A and B are shown apart, each in its own frame.
Chain A
């Protein structure tokens, strides 16, 4: 792929929790405005990998060696707080702030980062809720608690909250695994919409989901990157035996 299309470039990445090595020598490039799916059995290091991309692994006590470049800049040289505004994250379980209203959930990232112009905030909130395909469902009760809507709505609220700080990359850690099929398909079509403006890395357990939403797929196994290619290629014609075994359901 052409050099200027690469958003994130990972080289020789090892990750550790304490002395426990959980990622081995990962090298991969993530292109701009595409959706990259990370698949693999539980415990293969998928979540750890995307946490490294916005240094959230540090919050749970992880360390890395090797390099991760965002637009050609080394992540470890920058401030993690600033980095996380550029690389947002949506978690496995919806985690809206229960003490805040729907509106304030979306506005939280702005306000706590120093934006106080009311008009500006409400414009951004509306825009993000629309982008997250939630606006029509909540526009009449923006003052309700963020914790009192359905699980699927909560997850889209969390996506809207992430969008509000205008990141360049969105990391999603199994964003639909706790949701019902209808909500899942809403999230999936949302991902499709979002890739116009954002680069998305999504961890998923569900291979059909990876096949549906992603442009590229990476298969992780036991902390190693086994195969990384165009999604179609991975699913129709995998190069490695392990990949084939996994996607045909022979293990994992």
Chain B
């Protein structure tokens, strides 16, 4: 009988080949990430050599003069991401609390499903909706109303175009909500039941026990927000379609602005000179490095959180 089955020599070779083959793919993923950084470094070399750090601090982005300073673009990226995060994080925590603590399970499942569905909509469809629904509404209703009531603030001045920072912030907020809230929900759910029960047994209200859970989940929620920040900084289509695309530093949210990702999306195919292309690739490199740092940091936070409770 044993003879009918394969001999064992080939089996050990099989184990070895299998391990090395999968290793090969793992190595290729490893090299890919490094190669990506290297390729962009090569592509942006002439721009890095010419502008150095002034690339980041010069505020003139002028293809005609061949001068590229990314300050207004970085400003637009930072402001649009931070503002949308400021709105999205508290809302997402609310959604996460609703899903993890408040909603009965028959409601939790469909709402979670809807939230996940929202995360699956292609960003170009958000952008399309932004152009034809959100922007006209901002132009005709919301921005005039803001200007009327809060026009004394520097944030709500100027002509209500619709296209501009406010539209970008709103659409980014909608896009960040499902991402941050679904991770935060998982983080809240990772906190052991006993923590809630201990509080409830002492006569705490649901809200008080939730506060205790939130405290436990702090670093995980921070991680989720960081992941959201990474997404906001790199989001391209939806932002490009509604932000107005002008490199301009303005305090008014009604004014158009620009982000790193939208500059690349808009101008890459139009880049006629070497220097122009090189500057755009440098923007991509900066974006790459920023998102890597943010994501690395976020992952470490989320990991440390889940490890804390799985070890307990």
Name A residues whose Cβ lies closer than 8 Å to a Cβ of B: 79, 81-82, 85-86, 113-115, 165-166
Contact = CB atoms under 8 A, between A and B. Distances in A.
Interface in B1-33: 1-2, 4-6, 8, 11-12
A116 to B, nearest CB: 11
Given A81-B11, A113-B6, A115-B4, 18 more contacts: A79-B8, A79-B11, A79-B12, A81-B8, A81-B12, A82-B2, A82-B8, A85-B2, A85-B5, A86-B2, A113-B5, A114-B4, A114-B5, A114-B6, A115-B5, A165-B1, A165-B5, A166-B1
Contacts of A82: 2, 8
Contacts, number: 21
A84 to B, nearest CB: 11
B249 to A, nearest CB: 59
Contacts of B12: 79, 81
User: From DSSP, what is the main secondary structure of chain A's interface residues?
Assistant: loop
The 5 nearest A-B residue pairs measured at CB: A114-B6, A113-B5, A79-B8, A166-B1, A82-B8
Contacts of A85: 2, 5
Nearest to B2: A85
Interface of B: 1-2, 4-6, 8, 11-12
A227 B149 CA distance: 93
A71 to B, nearest CB: 12
A115 B2 CA distance: 11
Nearest to B11: A81
A132 B4 CA distance: 22
21 contacts: A79-B8, A79-B11, A79-B12, A81-B8, A81-B11, A81-B12, A82-B2, A82-B8, A85-B2, A85-B5, A86-B2, A113-B5, A113-B6, A114-B4, A114-B5, A114-B6, A115-B4, A115-B5, A165-B1, A165-B5, A166-B1
Contacts of A166: 1
A87 to B, nearest CB: 12
Contacts of A79: 8, 11-12
Contacts of A86: 2
Contacts of A114: 4-6
A86 B11 CA distance: 16
B4 to A, nearest CB: 6
Contacts of A115: 4-5
B241 to A, nearest CB: 45
Contacts of B2: 82, 85-86
A249 to B, nearest CB: 37
Nearest to A80: B8
Contacts of B6: 113-114
Contacts of B8: 79, 81-82
A77 to B, nearest CB: 12
A198 to B, nearest CB: 13
A85 B12 CA distance: 15
A114 B2 CA distance: 11
